[in-house]
Amino acid sequence: MRGIICEDVNQFRVMEQEPPRLSPGMAIVRIRRIGICGTDYHAYRGNQPFFSYPRVLGHELAGVIEAIDDTAGSCADQKSLKPGDQVGIIPYLECGECIACRRGKTNCCVNMKVMGVHVDGGMRELVAIPISNLIAADGLTLDETAALEPLSIGAHAVRRAGIEEGETVMVIGGGPIGLGVMALAKHKGARVLAMDVQDERLAFCREWAKVDETVNALQEAGSRVEQLTDGDYPTVVFDCTGNPSSMTKAFGYVAHGGKLVYVGLAKADISFNDPDFHKRELTLMGSRNATKEDFLLVKQAIRAGALNISAYITHRAPFEGMIDQFEQWMKPESKVIKAMVEL
């Protein structure tokens, strides 16, 4: 079978691999869509934490079951799946035994293996995956199914923050993850402010995520946020940039008694002023990956028409042409929101 491997920094290669074999508790899935994520760009450029080469990238996946272990488990979800079914894939392979897993926090498993980061991902024709990591995608298109994963990252952050209806929140970073946070916060009934450094991207936040207000981070952002909140500031701020400078500045935008949620990951140390942190009794939170609950929430939101995946996907390439397009997708002038690879 064909696959694409990232051999080293800035190096892709098409390869031939042995197809996976079916084993107990597993399914073989034929990959039909691969969403390209910031993690993939960072890995390609050598800026991704927890990463080693060579590695098959790809963790935003949609496919069709080729074969499945029909003796596995008694879970209703597992029993209902069969060859020919369209599925999404939860790419976080948890151990099921550590302190986090025992408490239901499988998204931050001590021994986490993320497809396309710690182990080979889905940028190939066939993958073997635990049946428990499959999401039935009945009623969704292949594009919508592949979008479940990045949008579930946003759903998890929103759920972790405990947003209440009518609450004013701000999302920093109008990339695909930030857009998901915005849209799902709106879905929860929040008033949402979007911050980015590009006016064009902020316009997309208004159009796609239906945010209430926008803030250009390069144009007196502090006073703009103060004005939009009548001096109160947002009670929840999500930073989805993965930029250390932005993540540091984000402390200054949070209301007294509010929450700052780091959704983006930076390969750096972040510092803050402790007296100011205590004065405002801030809560600093990390949000990592997602759980099955988040995937199902996004699936429901897509079915309800709350998330327009057709507009979310802005660029496409066939599997054979992905390598030629990848460098271009990373350039700001390409204006990529979400690129999708088709098999």
Q: Give the pLDDT confidence of 83-128 residue by residue, as tens digits.
A: 999 999 999 999 999 999 999 999 999 999 999 999 999 999 999 9
Closest C-alpha among 156, 175, 47 to residue 104: 156
Q: Which pLDDT belongs to residue 48?
A: 78
> Counting Cβ atoms within 10 Å, is residue 2 exposed (0-12), middle (13-18) or buried (19+)?
middle
Measured CA to CA, the distance from residue 225 to residue 231 in angstroms comes to 8
Burial class for 185, CB neighbours closer than 10 Å (0-12, 13-18, 19+): buried
Domain residue ranges of the chain, discontinuous segments joined by +: 2-138+313-342, 154-286
Q: What is the pLDDT of residue 222?
A: 94
pLDDT range class, residue 267, cuts 50, 70, 90: confident
pLDDT of residue 300: 96
Ordered alpha helix ranges (H), the chain: 38-45, 76-80, 99-102, 142-161, 176-187, 199-209, 221-228, 244-249, 274-279, 292-303, 309-312, 322-329
Same fold for the domain at 2-138+313-342 and the one at 154-286?
no
Selected from 3.40.50.300, 3.30.1490.20, 3.90.180.10, 3.40.50.2300, the CATH number assigned to the domain covering 2-138+313-342 reads: 3.90.180.10
| Residue 261 dihedral angles phi and psi, to the nearest 5° | -115, 120
Band of pLDDT at residue 51, cut at 50, 70 and 90: confident
pLDDT averaged over every residue in the chain: 95
CATH number of 154-286: 3.40.50.720
Q: Count the neighbouring beta carbons within 10 Å of the beta carbon of residue 120.
A: 18
pLDDT at 76: 45
User: According to the model, what pLDDT value does residue 236 have?
Assistant: 98
Q: What are phi and psi of 127, to 5 degrees?
A: -135, 150
Query: How would you list the strands of the sheet with 283-286, edge to edge?
Result: 213-216, 191-196, 168-172, 236-239, 259-262, 283-286
In angstroms, the CA 157 to CA 155 distance is 5
pLDDT for res 79? 58
The whole-model pTM stands at 0.93
Q: What is the DSSP letter of 184?
A: H
Does pLDDT of 266 surpass 90?
A: no
Contacts of 122 (CB under 8 A, 6+ apart): 31, 34, 56, 58, 59, 61, 63, 89, 91, 115, 116
Closest CA to 186 of 204, 170, 203: 170
pLDDT digits (tens, 9 = 90+) for 58-90: 999 999 999 999 875 545 455 589 999 999 999
Q: Which of 31-35, 39-43, 168-172, 290-294 has the lowest mean pLDDT?
A: 39-43
State pLDDT tens for residues 134-185: 999 999 999 999 999 999 999 999 999 999 999 999 999 999 999 999 999 9
